[in-house]
Structure 1
């Protein structure tokens, strides 16, 4: 075999359930692209497989209109009670409201935040000339924050439509489908802007981007705890020789990551959902919403529906990382 042939087929052996050959000569740019595709596939797949109905019940339990949430311990506040009640009154399909919008949102949001995380890690490490260590949390948090900011901002319209379609409407949902929901929300904003002599286009887009501040903050908080904790836990367990790369390691790391991100993101989720469903414009903005919840409901108001959040986000986190790692393996890319 020639020297050229030997270098062209240079491989590394990586343990992942069984030993797998991973090509080293795949261009780095192609790897970034494949990672994005893998994340984009993994997250929408999880949205359907990880109990999408739990997300709808979770939002209902938090009180998407700001008033509907039952107090902790009150009748109907339990996760299963709310789900059964919704299915009984509105039909089983009510638990799947906004699924199409959720798929679009996940494709954009999680595809970007997870798919570009390692790209920004590499860039920040290069820019800092190694001052930001690859083993340190600062590099991970910085990369996750940048990726989440971009993903959250771009996905806000789909996120808002998803929340609106999941909301409880006593007289039936005003939205026939995702497309109708987008058009209706845009029209509401455009009509309001026209009545005030403002730009119709700005009003329509403003309606679709309502709550974008809370959405972006939530994306950063969630990603900084979810992705970074998964990355850090995996790294620590492997470094100490406690576990090797493979499904058991992915399961342990993603389980802890799901708990951590549920704890940190639940308060922001409550604020975001309240703002997105504030059709009467009772809140002046994100900080006013935070102030009103704190004054009227106290600190625990930010943790309404935590059990539901953990059931949804914890499961979603575990399956997302398991699927993402498996897709990377099939693509011939090293584990995260």
Structure 2
């Protein structure tokens, strides 16, 4: 009897011991759900904006006099439709989805995780209303996401590029294998072959990471900050109108700041014959042979693509959060 009577007390004591862990478990679960929501929302946005993305990549690969009409997005897009068909506008779709799963899942999905951690570590010195906390969180999340997802980014860009003699890649898996073999040529079966293959897949990682940081700080931070300002000033309340307004501004800001880095990244990733020796050499070559305006090649389509992507991703992300019972961003 005494053992039976003691049992409920033991259960109760055990429950009390576990209680402090419950908030942490719920918090970790929410971080996990935010990652899932961020990945799904950005994959949705990338699917919608893929035609704009591929035209932008083709524009950025054009090596000609800045401002030449042949590089306008309607000319490039029209030529693709005539010579390659409608399906060409969905080039690199699978690689794009894989990239968004990793890259955007991490850069947007872990943004609030790092924001919370930096806020706690600063013991309130970094305010939630200030930009410093937001920039630090976005920079950390983007650095991790961009560096890990670089191979998928390389494959996406390669599959979206124009090849006069026909596409060299049958599918995404074949593209991964082909790019890997580029770096391991002549060293098959050795450690050097693996090292060379990985180096090939991580080509342009510096530009990718810089672009990820620039894009995320200007996109995520501006969305977060504009939302806070509009709500705090009593201009707008939480809802679709606020999400749309904030995402419109965020799309413009991130397009302006990220386009130059994007041009460099695309050039490096498609440099199969290793004519460019890193980021600085690429920048120098563009400046010398094409002029400073070349860094804004494809800006119209970049804005169209990133603007669309930003609006769709944030509206979808906020909706998913609502459905999952997570507070708005």
Fold conserved between structures, TM > 0.5: yes
Measured in 2, the distance between the counterparts of 1:280 and 1:114 equals 34
1:209 to 199, 202, 217: 202
Measured in 2, the distance between the counterparts of 1:109 and 1:320 equals 13
1:13-28 aligned within 5 A: 27-28=26-27
- Classify 1:47/1:184 alpha carbon distance in 2 versus 1 (closer, same or farther; 3 Å): same
Q: CA deviation at 1:73?
A: 4.0
Measured in 2, the distance between the counterparts of 1:222 and 1:74 equals 27
Given that 2:91 and 2:159 are in contact with CA atoms closer than 8 Å, whether structure 1 keeps it comes out as yes
Measured in 1, the distance between the counterparts of 2:70 and 2:89 equals 16
Match of 1:249 in 2: 242
Given that 1:117 and 1:144 are in contact with CA atoms closer than 8 Å, whether structure 2 keeps it comes out as yes
1:152-171 aligned within 5 A: 152-171=146-165
Q: CA deviation at 1:85?
A: 0.8
Match of 1:175 in 2: 169
- Classify 1:120/1:25 alpha carbon distance in 2 versus 1 (closer, same or farther; 3 Å): closer
Q: CA deviation at 1:299?
A: 1.6
Measured in 1, the distance between the counterparts of 2:32 and 2:155 equals 28
Say if 2:28 is the partner of 1:29: yes
Measured in 2, the distance between the counterparts of 1:265 and 1:25 equals 36
- 1:147-177 superposed Cα distances (whole Å, 9 cap, x missing partner): 0000001100000000000000001110000
SS in 1 for 2:69: coil
SS in 2 for 1:122: helix
Greater mean deviation of Cα atoms: 27-36 or 180-189 = 27-36
Give the structure with higher Rg (CA).
2
1:23-172 aligned within 5 A: 27-49=26-48, 51-63=49-61, 68-172=62-166
Q: CA deviation at 1:72?
A: 4.5
Q: CA deviation at 1:70?
A: 4.8
Q: Larger % of helix: which?
A: 2
SS in 1 for 2:271: coil
Given that 1:70 and 1:76 are in contact with CA atoms closer than 8 Å, whether structure 2 keeps it comes out as no
- The count of aligned residue pairs is 306
SS in 2 for 1:199: helix
Measured in 2, the distance between the counterparts of 1:110 and 1:264 equals 18
Greater mean deviation of Cα atoms: 286-295 or 232-241 = 286-295
Measured in 1, the distance between the counterparts of 2:323 and 2:299 equals 35
2:322 to 322, 329, 332: 329
Q: CA deviation at 1:71?
A: 4.0
Q: CA deviation at 1:25?
A: 10
1:283 to 268, 276, 279: 276
Q: CA deviation at 1:198?
A: 7.6
Gaps of 5+ in 1: 1-23
Given that 2:255 and 2:299 are in contact with CA atoms closer than 8 Å, whether structure 1 keeps it comes out as yes
Given that 1:157 and 1:209 are in contact with CA atoms closer than 8 Å, whether structure 2 keeps it comes out as yes
Gaps of 5+ in 2: 1-22
Q: CA deviation at 1:298?
A: 2.1
1:203-242 aligned within 5 A: 203-242=196-235
Given that 2:66 and 2:293 are in contact with CA atoms closer than 8 Å, whether structure 1 keeps it comes out as no
1:194-205 aligned within 5 A: 194=187, 199-205=192-198
